C-alpha cells in the first residue's frame, strides 16, 4: 500500500443512501477549493512556510547536543493547549507507551513529564519525583505569548526548584515569541537557550515549529523526517487536482457533513499510537472553526475500546455524527490455544491479534455503514516520523480549507479572552475590580444550591 | 461545605435568558420523577441492590488476603468497557498519578496495567514488562458474558505466559457471570478464585460490584467506604423531595437540555483526579440513552487544559452544549516570586496554585454564562472513597431516571451486536459465511481511494 490512503466510500449516497453525499455535491465544493488553493500557494499562511521551519533544525541540533552532555534523567515540559498537544502526540505515537517505566531512562531517552494543567495534585507529584534528581532535570518552557498564566505559574515554581541545583541555567530552555512577552524578557535578562515560535503561527498550528520539534529532538525523535513528511504532503496538496486530493476532499466532506446536520466529527483511530493525534485534532478543529455560532464539534474516540462505550450511540442514536476511522497494520501477537477444551474459542486461538484488531475495525465499520452513519477511513502504512509529519500537515491544511468554506478566520480564538480577564480579576490584577465584583456576585447566589 | 453540592443557577432563565430553563419547566419533569422514584424504590433495578453488593465484601477480603501473600509486583487487569472503566476511574481518583513509577510498588501497592484494548503494540509492551516478573504478577480477568472476544483473546495470551511461572493458579482471578459463559466454564474446570457479576447488572452499572471492588481491594482502596457512600446517596435520593434532590433535578435538567437542542453533555472536571470519571460517565450516558435515533452525546473535557482547546467552541460555537463543571478544593502549592523584576507577574507570584486553579474555573464559568451556555456546577469537598461511591451511585440514578424520561430501556445495548457478528465472521467463525462475503465486498471497492 501507499503511505497514506483515504477511502471516502462511506460518505457517499451509493453506500449510505440519503444520509450521504453525491460525488457532485463534493466536487462542487472541492472545485472551489482548487481555485483557492492556487492563490494560497502563492501567498501562503505562515504555518505553510516549511522552508522557514526547516531553517530552525540546525539551532535545535545545537541545543540537543549541549543538553545531551547533561545525561538528563527527566525532561519536564511546561505548556498548555497548542504548546503541549503536538509534543504529546509525537511522543505518544513514537515512544514506548510505558517509556517512563524503563529503568534505563537517561540522556536522549529521559523520563518525560508534560505539564498541561495546574492541578496542584499532579504538579506536586511531579515535583516529588524530580526533586531527588533536579541536577539531572531539563526544563522546557513553552508559551507563544510568553504570558500564559498556567505556564508562567508553573515556571515560577520550577525555577525556584531548579535554582537549588547545579548549573540551572544550562537546563532551562525557552520557546516563545522572538520579540515580545515576559518569557522573552526573561531570556534576554537571564540568557537561557531559547528558540522562537515563528511570527503568525498560533499554538494549534505550531507542532512542526520549535514548539514540537525541540522537545522531540531531546527525545532523539527524527525531526528532520517529521519536517520532510510535511514538505512532501505540502507538495502533494499543491500538485494533485481536487478530485484526487485528500486535503481538499476531506475539507469539502467535513464541511458538507456539518451542513447536513452531522455536527460531530468523531475521529476514531484503531491504533493506540494515534490516540493523542485525536486530541491534537480536537483542538485544531474546535478552536479554528468554532466561531460565529457555528462550527463542528470534534470528538475523540478509540477503537476498539469505545466500541464498548460509544458505538451504541453511534449506531442507534441521532444521525448527527460523521466518523473518521484511522487504522494501520502494526505489530502482531500470536494468540495461543490455551483452552483446547473450549471449541467456541477456535475463532481466536491460533490466530493473530493484529487480525482480530483489524477484523473489529471492519466489523464496526460495516455496522456503522448499515446504520447509515457517514464515515471515512484513513489507512497509514506505518507510524513513523515521516507519516506523522505528513498527517499533521494534512490536517492543518484541511482546517485551513474549511476556514475558507466557513468564511471565518481560522487562526484566532477571540472567545477565550473574556475568561482570561475574569481569571486575572479573581487573582487580584489591578484595573479589573469591576470584573472581580461580578464573580463575587456569582459566588453569593445560593438559591438553587442542593447538597448531599 | 457539605460533601457534594450542586449549583443549577447556570441553567436557569434568570441567569442565561432564553437558552435556559424556568424553574417550572424543571419542576414539571422532576415532579413526575418523584412519582416514578417511589415505585422504583419498591421494585428497584438490580444495580440499586446495595445490600447484595455489600454481601460480596467478605469474599473480596478473602481473595485480597490470599493474594497479599504473593507480594505481587504487577497487577494486570483484562477487561473492556464497563469491565475496566470503573476500575480505571477509581484508581485514577485515588492513587498517585505516577503510581507505577514508585520504586516500592509491591504487595498491596503493585504496579497496575489495565488492558482495555487489543492493539498488539501496547499489549506487547506490557508483556515486555511483566515477563521478567511473572511469578509476581496477578491477573484479573473481567467479562460479564465470559465471552468478550477482546478479553478472551488477551486471556488466552496471558494464560500461556503465566503457565510458565510458579503456581499460576493462585494468581489468576476471574470475575464473570455466576452460571453462564466460557469464563465460568474455565473457573469450574481449573478452579481459579472467582467472583460473580451479579445478575442483571450490565457492565456500565457494575463499578460497585466485584467488577470494580475486587481490583480496588487489591490496591488497598477502602471498598467498604465506596459502598457506604453509595448507600448513603441511595438513602438521600430516596428521602429528599424532587425540588432539592440532586439526582432528580440533574436528570430533569439534562433531559430538558437535550430536548432544547443542547445535544452534547460536556462533563468538565476542574480536578485531574476526576478526569477518568468523565470517561466513565461517557459510557454510562452514551450506551444507556443512545437509542431509537435519540440520546445526548456525552463529551469529556478537562479544566483548565481544555480552556486552551475547546473553550473557544463552547463560547462562540453553536448553542448545542450543556456543561457540567466538577470542582473541588484539593491540595495546594505555593507560587514563589522567582522573577521579582517582572511586576506583571504579581498576580501570580506569592499566590496559591489552588487559588489560581479555582480562579480559572470561576473565570471560565462566568465567560460561559455570558455566552448563554447552560451549565451546572458540582462541588465535592474531598476526593475519597466515600464521595466517589456517592458520585457513582448519583450518576447511575440520574441515567436511570433519564431512561424513564426517554421511555427507553437504559440497560441494554442492542446496537453493538451487529458489529460483533461481522467481527466474528471476519475471524472465520462458522455459520457466518454470508457476513464474511459482505466484508470482503467492502474491501474490494476501490473507486474512491485516494493515496499519498
Candidate list A285, A287, A385, A396, residue with the active-site label: A287
Chain A partners of B239 at a C-beta cutoff of 8 Å?
none
The residues near A271 (Cβ < 8 Å, ≥ 6 apart) are A303, A326, A327, A328, A330, A380, A383, B119, B121
Of A320, A413, A438, nearest to B366 by CB-CB distance is A438
The residues near B423 (Cβ < 8 Å, ≥ 6 apart) are A356, A359, A360, A362, A363, A364, B149
pLDDT surpasses 70 at B447: no
For B202, name the nearest residue in chain A, comparing CA atoms only.
Answer: A308
Q: pTM for this one? A: 0.98
Predicted confidence band of residue B213 (pLDDT cuts 50, 70, 90): very high
Per residue in B337-381, pLDDT (tens digit) is 999 999 999 999 999 999 999 999 999 999 999 999 999 999 999
Subunit contact A12:B448, Cβ cutoff 8 A: yes
Task: Give the pLDDT score at A150.
Answer: 97
Rounded to a whole number of angstroms, the distance from the CA of A58 to the nearest CA of chain B is 28
Within 268-297 of A, beta carbons closer than 8 Å to B belong to 270-273, 279, 282-283, 286-287, 289-295, 297
Mean pLDDT of A152-172: 94
Per residue in B80-89, pLDDT (tens digit) is 999 999 999 9
Task: Give the pLDDT score at B444.
Answer: 85
Per residue in B287-319, pLDDT (tens digit) is 999 999 999 999 999 999 999 999 999 999 999
Task: Give the pLDDT score at A447.
Answer: 59
Subunit contact A3:B100, Cβ cutoff 8 A: no
Chain B partners of A297 at a C-beta cutoff of 8 Å?
264, 299, 313, 317, 320-321
Output the average pLDDT for chain A. Answer: 96
Subunit contact A5:B451, Cβ cutoff 8 A: yes
CB A341 within 8 A of CB A280: no
Subunit contact B313:A286, Cβ cutoff 8 A: yes
Per residue in A42-95, pLDDT (tens digit) is 999 999 999 999 999 999 999 999 999 999 999 999 999 999 999 999 999 999
Subunit contact B310:A287, Cβ cutoff 8 A: yes
Per residue in A385-398, pLDDT (tens digit) is 999 999 999 999 99
Q: Which of A169-173, A226-230, A447-451, B346-350 has the lowest mean pLDDT?
A: A447-451
Subunit contact A415:B203, Cβ cutoff 8 A: no
Q: Indicate if B308 belongs to the active site.
A: yes
For A126, name the nearest residue in chain B, comparing CA atoms only.
Answer: B98
pLDDT surpasses 70 at A448: no
Q: Which of B65-69, B213-217, B243-247, B287-291 has the lowest mean pLDDT?
A: B65-69
DSSP type of residue B448? T
Mean pLDDT of A357-383: 97
The residues near A362 (Cβ < 8 Å, ≥ 6 apart) are B422, B423, B426, B439, B442, B443
CB B183 within 8 A of CB B115: no
β-pairing, B375-380 with B4-7?
Answer: antiparallel
Q: Indicate if B61 belongs to the active site.
A: no
Task: Give the pLDDT score at B227.
Answer: 98
Is the backbone of residue B397 left (phi > 0), alpha (psi -120 to 50) or beta? alpha
Percent of chain B with pLDDT over 70: 99
CB A65 within 8 A of CB A193: no
Whether A80 contacts chain B with CB within 8 A: yes
Subunit contact B312:A415, Cβ cutoff 8 A: yes
Output the average pLDDT for chain B. Answer: 96
Q: Indicate if B444 belongs to the active site.
A: no
For residue B6, list its beta bridge partners. A450, B378
Amino acid at each position: 500500500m501507499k503511505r497514506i490512503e483515504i477511502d471516502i466510500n462511506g460518505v457517499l449516497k451509493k453506500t449510505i443512501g440519503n444520509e450521504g453525499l453525491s460525488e457532485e455535491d463534493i466536487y462542487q465544493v472541492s472545485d472551489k477549493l482548487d481555485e483557492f488553493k492556487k492563490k494560497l500557494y502563492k501567498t501562503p499562511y505562515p504555518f505553510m512556510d516549511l522552508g522557514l521551519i526547516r531553517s530552525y533544525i540546525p539551532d535545535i541540533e545545537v541545543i540537543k547536543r549541549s543538553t545531551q552532555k547533561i545525561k538528563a534523567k527527566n525532561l519536564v515540559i511546561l505548556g498548555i493547549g497548542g504548546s503541549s498537544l503536538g509534543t504529546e502526540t509525537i511522543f505518544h505515537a513514537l515512544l514506548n507507551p510505558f517509556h517512563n517505566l524503563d529503568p534505563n531512562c537517561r540522556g536522549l531517552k529521559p523520563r518525560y513529564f508534560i505539564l498541561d494543567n495546574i492541578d496542584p495534585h499532579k504538579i506536586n507529584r511531579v515535583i516529588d519525583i524530580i526533586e531527588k534528581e533536579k541536577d539531572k532535570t531539563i526544563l522546557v518552557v513553552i508559551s507563544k505569548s510568553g504570558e500564559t498564566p498556567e505556564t508562567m505559574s508553573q515556571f515560577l515554581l520550577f525555577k525556584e526548584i531548579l535554582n537549588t541545583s547545579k548549573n540551572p541555567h544550562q537546563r532551562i530552555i525557552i520557546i516563545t515569541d522572538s520579540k515580545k512577552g515576559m518569557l522573552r524578557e526573561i531570556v534576554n535578562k537571564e540568557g537561557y537557550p531559547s528558540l522562537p515560535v515563528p511570527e503568525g503561527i498560533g499554538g494549534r498550528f505550531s507542532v512542526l515549529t520549535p514548539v514540537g520539534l525541540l522537545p522531540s529532538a531531546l527525545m532523539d525523535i527524527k525531526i528532520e523526517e517529521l519536517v520532510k513528511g510535511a514538505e512532501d504532503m505540502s507538495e502533494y496538496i499543491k500538485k494533485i487536482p481536487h478530485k484526487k486530493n485528500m486535503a481538499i476532499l476531506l475539507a469539502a466532506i467535513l464541511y458538507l457533513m456539518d451542513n447536513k446536520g452531522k455536527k460531530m466529527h468523531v475521529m476514531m483511530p484503531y491504533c493506540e499510537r494515534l490516540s493523542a493525534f485525536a486530541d491534537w485534532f480536537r483542538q485544531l478543529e474546535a478552536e479554528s472553526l468554532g466561531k460565529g455560532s457555528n462550527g463542528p464539534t470534534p470528538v475523540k474516540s478509540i477503537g476498539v475500546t469505545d466500541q464498548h462505550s460509544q458505538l451504541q450511540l453511534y449506531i442507534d442514536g441521532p444521525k448527527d455524527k460523521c466518523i473518521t476511522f484511522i487504522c494501520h497494520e502494526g505489530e502482531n501477537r500470536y494468540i495461543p490455544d490455551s483452552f483446547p477444551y473450549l471449541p467456541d474459542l477456535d475463532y481466536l486461538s491460533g490466530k493473530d491479534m493484529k487480525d482480530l484488531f483489524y477484523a473489529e475495525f471492519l466489523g464496526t465499520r460495516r455496522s456503522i455503514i448499515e446504520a447509515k452513519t457517514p464515515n471515512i477511513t484513513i489507512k497509514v502504512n506505518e507510524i513513523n516520523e515521516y507519516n506523522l509529519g505528513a498527517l499533521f500537515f494534512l490536517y492543518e491544511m484541511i482546517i485551513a480549507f474549511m476556514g475558507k468554506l466557513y468564511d471565518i478566520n481560522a487562526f484566532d480564538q477571540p472567545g477565550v479572552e473574556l475568561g482570561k480577564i475574569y481569571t486575572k480579576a479573581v487573582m487580584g490584577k489591578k484595573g479589573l475590580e469591576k470584573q472581580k465584583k461580578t464573580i463575587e456576585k456569582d459566588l453569593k447566589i445560593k438559591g438553587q444550591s442542593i447538597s448531599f
